[in-house]
Structure 1
Amino acid sequence: MNRIPHFLCAGLLAAAALSPVAALAQLGVGEGTGAAAATNAAPQHVAPTALATLLSNNLALHVAADNNHGAAAGVPCASLGADWASCATGRLIFVNRGQQLITDGGWKLYLHSIRRLLRIDRPGFTLRHLTGDLYELTPQPGSLRLAPGERFELPFVGEYWYLRYSDLLPRPYVVVAGAQPAVLKYDDTDDETRYVESLPPDAQSNSPGNAPPVAAQAVSDRALPSVKRQRALDGTLDLHGVDLRLPDISPAQVESLRERAHTLGLDDAGTRVAGIVAPQRLPADIAVPGGYRLTIGPSGAFIEGYDAAGEYYGVQTLYSLVQEGGGRIPAMRIEDAPRFPHRGMHVDLARNFKHPATLRRLIDQMSAYKLNRLHLHLSDDEGWRIEIPGLPELTEIGGRRCHDLSETHCLLPQLGSGPDNRSGGGYLTRNDYIELVRYAADHFVEVIPEIDMPAHSRAAVVTMEARYRRLHAEGQEQEATEYRLLDPQDTSQLTTVQFYDRRSDLNPCVPGALNFASKVIREIASMHAQAQVPLHIWHFGGDEAKNILLGAGFQPLNGTDPGKGRVDLAAQDKPWARSPMCKALLQRGEIKSIDELPTRFAKQVSMQVAANGINTMAAWEDGLKGASGPQEFGTRNVMVSLWDTIFWGGADSARDWSAKGYQTVLALPDYLYFDFPYTLNPRERGYYWGSHATDEYKVFSFAPENLPQNAELFGDRDGNPFEVTGTGGAPRIEGIQGQAWGEVMRNDRLLEYMVYPRLLALAERAWHKADWELPFVAGVSYKLGATHHVDMVALERDWAGFATVLKQRELPKLERAGIGYRKPTFTLTGE
Structure 2
Amino acid sequence: MNRFTPSFLASTLLVVMGNHAARADQQVVDQISRFGVKYAVTDNHAAQHGVDCAALGADWASCNRATITLTNPGEAVTSNDWAIYMSNVHQTLKVEDERFRMVHIVGDLTRLEPTDKFTGFAAHESVEIPIVNEYWQLFITDIMPRWYVTSGEAQPKMITSTDTEDLTAFVAPFGTQWKRTVEDKNVLMTATSRFEKNSDLSLLTPASLRGQIVPTPIQAQVFAEDADLSAGIKLDLSGLPDAQAEAIRQRFRLLGIKEQPNGYPIIARINAGALDKAASVSGGYRLTIGKAKADVTGYDRSGVFYGLQSILSLLPASGEGKIATLAVTDAPRFAYRGAFLDVARNFHSKAAVLRMLDQMAAWKMNKFHFHLTDDEGWRVEIAGLPELTGVGARRCHDLSEQHCLLPQLGSGPFSNNNGSGFFSRADYIEIVKYAAARNIEVIPEVDMPAHARAAVVSMEARYHRLMEKGDASAASEYRLVDPTDSSNTTSVQLYDRTSYLNPCLDSSLRFTDKVISEIQAMHLAAGQPLKTWHFGGDEAKNIRLGAGYSDRAKPVTGTGLRTMDEEDKPWAKSLACQKLISEGKVSDLAHLPSSFALKVSKLVKAHGIDSMQAWQDGLKDAKDAGAFSTAQVRVNFWDTLYWGGFDTANDWANKGYQVVLSNPDYLYMDFPSEVNPLERGYYWGTRFTDERKMFSFAPNNLPQNAETSVDRDGNTFSAKSDKAWLGAYGISAQLWSETVRTDSNMEYMIFPRLFTAAERGWHRASWEQDYQAGKEYVGGETRYVDSQALLTDWQRFANLLGQRELAKLDLAGVSYRLPVPGARIVNGVLEANLALPGLTIEYSLDEGKSWQRYDNGSRPNVSGKVSVRSVSPDGKRVSRVEAL
TM-score category of the 2 structures, normalised to the smaller one: over 0.9
Matched, 1:216 2:209: no
Letter in 2 for 1:375: H
Letter in 1 for 2:567: Q
Match of 1:722 in 2: 717
Matched, 1:675 2:670: yes
Match of 2:358 in 1: 364
Matched, 1:296 2:289: yes
**TM-score, structure 1 as length reference:** 0.93
Superposed displacement of residue 148, structure 1: 4.9
Q: Give the number of aligned pairs.
A: 787
Native 8 Å contact 2:706 2:716 kept in 1 = yes
Residues 318-397 of structure 1 aligned to structure 2 (within 5 Å)? 318-324=311-317, 325-397=319-391
Match of 1:403 in 2: 397
Match of 1:74 in 2: 50
Superposed displacement of residue 828, structure 1: 2.4
Q: Please point out which of 453, 461, 467 is paired with 1:466.
A: 461
Letter in 1 for 2:70: F
Task: Structure 2: state its 5+ residue gaps.
Answer: 1-20, 180-187, 821-834, 839-855, 858-884
Q: Please point out which of 76, 80, 89 is paired with 1:114.
A: 89
In structure 2, distance between residues paired with 1:144 and 1:628: 62
In structure 2, distance between residues paired with 1:746 and 1:559: 42
Native 8 Å contact 1:294 1:301 kept in 2 = yes
Superposed displacement of residue 213, structure 1: 4.2
Deviations 1:212-255 (A, max 9, x none): 54122311111111111011335210122332211021111111
Match of 1:230 in 2: 220
Q: Please point out which of 94, 102, 109 is paired with 2:70.
A: 94
Distance 1:660 1:560, change over 3 A: closer
Match of 1:784 in 2: 779
Residues 604-623 of structure 1 aligned to structure 2 (within 5 Å)? 604-623=599-618
Match of 1:544 in 2: 539
Distance 1:295 1:754, change over 3 A: same
Match of 2:691 in 1: 696
In structure 1, distance between residues paired with 2:610 and 2:29: 55
Residues 394-543 of structure 1 aligned to structure 2 (within 5 Å)? 394-421=388-415, 422-543=417-538
Residue 209 of structure 2 aligns to a residue whose secondary structure is coil
Distance 1:88 1:167, change over 3 A: same
Match of 2:828 in 1: none
Match of 1:573 in 2: 568
Residue 105 of structure 2 aligns to a residue whose secondary structure is strand
Matched, 1:51 2:42: no
Residues 276-295 of structure 1 aligned to structure 2 (within 5 Å)? 276-295=269-288
Q: Which stretch of the first structure deviates more once superposed, 470-479 or 211-220?
A: 211-220
Superposed displacement of residue 131, structure 1: 0.1
In structure 2, distance between residues paired with 1:568 and 1:211: 50
Q: Please point out which of 303, 306, 310 is paired with 1:317.
A: 310
Native 8 Å contact 1:494 1:573 kept in 2 = yes
State the percentage of identical aligned residues: 46
Matched, 1:271 2:264: yes
Native 8 Å contact 2:28 2:79 kept in 1 = no
Native 8 Å contact 1:211 1:698 kept in 2 = no
Match of 1:64 in 2: 40
Match of 1:167 in 2: 142
In structure 2, distance between residues paired with 1:544 and 1:236: 55
Q: Which stretch of the first structure deviates more once superposed, 334-343 or 260-269?
A: 260-269
In structure 2, distance between residues paired with 1:407 and 1:686: 28
In structure 1, distance between residues paired with 2:552 and 2:175: 30
Match of 1:712 in 2: 707
In structure 1, distance between residues paired with 2:198 and 2:735: 21
Superposed displacement of residue 138, structure 1: 1.3
Letter in 1 for 2:297: E
Letter in 1 for 2:284: G
Native 8 Å contact 1:104 1:143 kept in 2 = no
Native 8 Å contact 1:109 1:174 kept in 2 = yes
Letter in 2 for 1:775: D
Superposed displacement of residue 479, structure 1: 0.6
Letter in 1 for 2:221: R
Match of 2:846 in 1: none
Letter in 2 for 1:751: M
Native 8 Å contact 1:705 1:731 kept in 2 = no
Superposed displacement of residue 677, structure 1: 0.3
Letter in 2 for 1:519: K
Residue 599 of structure 1 aligns to a residue whose secondary structure is helix
Letter in 2 for 1:247: S
Residue 253 of structure 2 aligns to a residue whose secondary structure is helix
Superposed displacement of residue 140, structure 1: 3.6
Native 8 Å contact 1:621 1:642 kept in 2 = yes
Letter in 1 for 2:266: V
Distance 1:741 1:787, change over 3 A: same
In structure 2, distance between residues paired with 1:188 and 1:395: 25
Match of 1:192 in 2: 167
Q: Which consecutive aligned stretches of 4+ in structure 1 deviate over 6 angstroms post-superposition?
A: none
Native 8 Å contact 1:82 1:159 kept in 2 = yes
Native 8 Å contact 2:80 2:118 kept in 1 = no
Greater relative contact order (Cα < 8 A, sep 6+): 1
In structure 1, distance between residues paired with 2:796 and 2:170: 41
Deviations 1:339-384 (A, max 9, x none): 1010000000100000100000000000001011110101110010
Superposed displacement of residue 69, structure 1: 1.3
Residue 443 of structure 1 aligns to a residue whose secondary structure is coil
Residue 334 of structure 1 aligns to a residue whose secondary structure is strand
In structure 1, distance between residues paired with 2:68 and 2:79: 15
Native 8 Å contact 1:162 1:200 kept in 2 = no
Residue 368 of structure 2 aligns to a residue whose secondary structure is strand
Residue 639 of structure 1 aligns to a residue whose secondary structure is strand
In structure 2, distance between residues paired with 1:650 and 1:443: 33
Q: Which stretch of the first structure deviates more once superposed, 556-565 or 540-549?
A: 556-565
Letter in 1 for 2:55: S
Residue 400 of structure 1 aligns to a residue whose secondary structure is coil
In structure 1, distance between residues paired with 2:611 and 2:707: 35
In structure 1, distance between residues paired with 2:127 and 2:119: 8
In structure 1, distance between residues paired with 2:597 and 2:640: 24
Task: Structure 1: state its 5+ residue gaps.
Answer: 1-43
Native 8 Å contact 1:397 1:409 kept in 2 = yes
Letter in 1 for 2:308: V
Superposed displacement of residue 147, structure 1: 4.4
Q: Please point out which of 94, 105, 108 is paired with 2:80.
A: 105
In structure 2, distance between residues paired with 1:178 and 1:587: 48
In structure 2, distance between residues paired with 1:93 and 1:708: 48
In structure 2, distance between residues paired with 1:624 and 1:417: 33
Match of 2:879 in 1: none
Superposed displacement of residue 416, structure 1: 0.3
Letter in 1 for 2:388: L
- Taking only aligned residues, the RMSD between alpha carbons, in angstroms, comes to 1.7
**TM-score, structure 2 as length reference:** 0.87
Letter in 2 for 1:454: P
